Structure 1
Amino acid sequence: MMKATTTMKKNAVKEAETSPSQLIDAKVAALGDWRGGTLARLRSLIKEADPEVVEEVKWRKPSNMFGVPVWEHAGIICTGETYKNAVKLTFAKGASLEDPSGLFNSSLEGNTRRAIDFHEGDEIDEKALEALIRAAVALNTSQKAPRSA
């Protein structure tokens, strides 16, 4: 069973080598449980909040052949990591974002990043998450603006 799953994942990765979006599709399919569904829903909300978002996959290695999905717009907005008991959405500049709905519940001790851990059965506050994504994009684009003398 374990060998078949590994072979299945390797085949999915080979088939998905053409684009980051296809690799993320393969990761969602390979998870095959609530984590895949949660990651897919979060991905959809990110794209709805920012139609200009660019999907990337970073940090691929043998122990994580699908890598980590990354959503960018003038810099990294957030990453989507999957663990045994959680799907973690990490905002690269989360410490600089207002979070009036209190979505951030993980990685709170750092000076830069903030994360949201989603567990099986958690409700996603879609409006608050979309507002956070838009705020992250606004922060990225404001920092990339040319400076006038």
Structure 2
Amino acid sequence: MKASEQIDQLIAGITDWRGKTFAGVRKAILAADPEILEEWKWMGSPVWSRDGMIAVANAHKGKVKLTFAHGAHLPDPDKLFNAGLEGNARRSIDFLEGDRIDEPALKNLVRAAIDYNRTKLKKNAPKGARAKTEKSGNT
């Protein structure tokens, strides 16, 4: 079964407000960039990635949690992050019953995560490429 189908099933199985919130979060994430990949990891967690992990979501009792892998490194001008603020890497958004999803702000945060992933790839790639070239004697 594809990851997208597993996520569909997960959302369909959440029959209270969290299912609708989860679906809205997913919709906003996927709308941020057409090349975002949906994955199913860690025995049942939806993960979205593009050039590296963007975020993982889970429905907990009383909330839907969206955790950005590199959230501590992302600009958050709309102050969406409201959990995990003390960490050095991750930041989360806890959606509680009645919370509205700020789709434009969430899309911007997802795009910032993609930009961060790309920057991290570019920063790391030249070092590795140079090291391989130097080891092989090619310059």
**Which band: TM-score by shorter chain?**
0.7 to 0.9
Query: What is the CA–CA distance in structure 2 between the aligned matches of 1:124 and 1:21, rounded to whole Å?
Result: 21
Shift of 1:103: 0.5
Letter in 2 for 1:111: N
1:42-98 residue CA offsets vs partner (Å, 9 max, x unmatched): 1110110011000011111xxxxxx11000101110001110100001000000001
Q: 2:24·2:101 contact (CA, 8 Å) conserved in 1?
A: no
Shift of 1:144: 1.3
Q: Secondary structure at the match of 2:13?
A: helix
**Pairing 1:45–2:22 present:** no
Query: What is the CA–CA distance in structure 1 between the aligned matches of 2:21 and 2:52, rounded to whole Å?
Result: 24
**Aligned equivalent of 2:6:** 23
What is the TM-score when the length of structure 2 is the normalising length? 0.87
Query: What is the CA–CA distance in structure 2 between the aligned matches of 1:68 and 1:144, rounded to whole Å?
Result: 24
Letter in 2 for 1:77: I
Q: 1:135 aligns with which of 97, 112, 133?
A: 112
Shift of 1:119: 0.6
**Aligned equivalent of 2:136:** none
Q: Secondary structure at the match of 1:116?
A: strand
Percent of residue pairs identical = 50
Query: What is the CA–CA distance in structure 2 between the aligned matches of 1:131 and 1:78, rounded to whole Å?
Result: 13
Q: 1:102 aligns with which of 51, 59, 79?
A: 79
**Which consecutive residues of structure 2, in runs of 5 or more, have no partner in the other structure?**
131-139
**Which consecutive residues of structure 1, in runs of 5 or more, have no partner in the other structure?**
1-17, 61-66
Query: What is the CA–CA distance in structure 2 between the aligned matches of 1:113 and 1:80, rounded to whole Å?
Result: 13
Q: Secondary structure at the match of 1:41?
A: helix
**Aligned equivalent of 1:118:** 95
Query: What is the CA–CA distance in structure 2 between the aligned matches of 1:52 and 1:141, rounded to whole Å?
Result: 13
Q: 1:57 aligns with which of 30, 40, 59?
A: 40
Query: What is the CA–CA distance in structure 2 between the aligned matches of 1:123 and 1:35, rounded to whole Å?
Result: 12
Letter in 2 for 1:81: N
Greater Rg, structure 1 or structure 2?
A: 2
| More contact order relative to length (CA 8 Å, sep ≥ 6) | 2
Q: Secondary structure at the match of 1:147?
A: helix
**Aligned equivalent of 1:75:** 52
**Aligned equivalent of 1:11:** none
Shift of 1:21: 0.5
Shift of 1:40: 0.7
